[in-house]
Amino acid sequence: MSIAISGLTKRFGQTDVLCGVDLEVSKGELVALLGPSGSGKTTLLKIIAGLEWPDAGRLAVNDQNWLQLAAQDRRIGFVFQHYALFPHMRVRDNIAFGLSVRPRSERPGKAVIAAKVDEMLHFLQITHLADRFPGQLSGGQRQRVALGRALAIEPAVLLLDEPFGALDAAIRRDLRRWLRGVHDATGSTTIFVTHDQEEAFELADRVVVMGEGRIEQIGHADAIHDHPATPFVARFMGATVEFPVTLNSGRAEASGLDISALPRRALPDGPARLFARPEDITLIPDAGAPWRIASRISNGAHLRFVLSHPALGEAEADVPRRTANADALTPDAAVRLRIEAGTIFPAERGIATTSVRSPGFEPVKEKSR
């Protein structure tokens, strides 16, 4: 089933939670909604499911206006992060649930339901769990069962809200591959919500990046990674170091920075801002350069540098430890910063252009959390 969403807005009290969302999902597509906590992902899913209503906008599935349909008439399969299975029901009864509560006139016979459940168990490779209670399952097994329960009704649209969010990184990776296989085999139209970039990019046909109730960018992994459409996406994708620059005929210039590796940009002359990843900054010893190494910390594979500039403030760089010039990069050394990759945005987007912004040193976080 294809989904067409346009102009969707939703406000809770004083807060604009969705500010005009437009999104089309093709039949059989798997789309990931990626965004930080609070960006409106769950609200958007709930509106599609009929658990929440928008203030304005349209939602059509196969050209049918779903905003006129009650939740139970939409044939939605929904899996939440903490979707409690019914604890007093065995796995097979949990999976049968959606079919066995249908109105009597539409309810399949007992034998048909049992056959459907067996088919689901086999398809999801959880036949051995059929007679267990949820309390006897691991977290990953529970989410497989939850997906079985969602799929048993043959949903028009499958909505997954951080379904693997509570699981360990290794199990998440297994389930990701498994889910992709299930999706391809059922041909369902699926929207998968996550705040984990790796999960979104590895799983989805297209990724929709959301920030504060708006879609910031839609695309494939490489395009979002290399060509963030907005400062928000650049930061979200790890370009956490920001330098004030001046654009001159499409070339960026700044004190102590070598930006010649970046392509010319068709942007107006004047103040702008360069966003770069700490690992895309190369340090070149240069006695005349204004940047100084303030600190150097090794985490084994990489050297983390904090750099300081007398006028601009501090920036962070991340260099492989086996870099040829690593021995020369000692505290107090003067360095030039060569920016190997980055994105420049014009100043008129309301971003500061007078100082550096950098996250400072942070311990490496587990990416999937």
Which is closer to Mg ion, CB of 54 or CB of 231?
54
Which is closer to ligand ADP, CB of 40 or CB of 342?
40
Which is closer to ligand ADP, CB of 16 or CB of 258?
16
Which is closer to ligand ADP, CB of 40 or CB of 54?
40
The verdict on 43 binding ligand ADP (CB under 6 A) reads yes
The verdict on 40 binding ligand ADP (CB under 6 A) reads yes
- Select the binding partner of residue 125 from ligand ADP, Mg ion, none (C-beta < 5 to 8 A, by kind): none
Which segment (39-47, 101-109, 259-267, 358-366) binds ligand ADP by CB under 6 A? 39-47
CA pair distance 193, 31, nearest whole angstrom: 9
The verdict on 211 binding ligand ADP (CB under 6 A) reads no
The verdict on 165 binding ligand ADP (CB under 6 A) reads no
Which is closer to Mg ion, CB of 157 or CB of 159?
159
Contacts of 142 (CB under 8 A, 6+ apart): 85, 134
**Which residue from 21, 23, 25, 42 is in contact with ligand ADP, where contact means CB under 6 A?**
42
Contacts of 185 (CB under 8 A, 6+ apart): 123
Which is closer to ligand ADP, CB of 42 or CB of 188?
42
Tokens of 267: 């942007």
The verdict on 42 binding Mg ion (CB under 5 A) reads yes
Binders of ligand ADP among 284-343, rule CB under 6 A?
none
The verdict on 37 binding ligand ADP (CB under 6 A) reads yes
- Closest CB 15 distance from ligand ADP, rounded Å: 6
The verdict on 15 binding ligand ADP (CB under 6 A) reads yes
Q: How many residues does the chain have?
A: 369
**Which residue from 20, 28, 38, 250 is in contact with ligand ADP, where contact means CB under 6 A?**
38
Which is closer to ligand ADP, CB of 31 or CB of 96?
31
Which segment (36-44, 70-78, 112-120, 149-157) binds ligand ADP by CB under 6 A? 36-44
- Closest CB 226 distance from Mg ion, rounded Å: 27
Pick from 186, 170, 166: which is nearest to 80 by CA? 166
Which is closer to ligand ADP, CB of 21 or CB of 347?
21
Which segment (33-41, 171-179, 199-207, 288-296) binds Mg ion by CB under 5 A? 33-41
Binding positions for Mg ion, rule: CB under 5 A? 41-42
Binding positions for ligand ADP, rule: CB under 6 A? 12, 15, 17, 35, 37-43
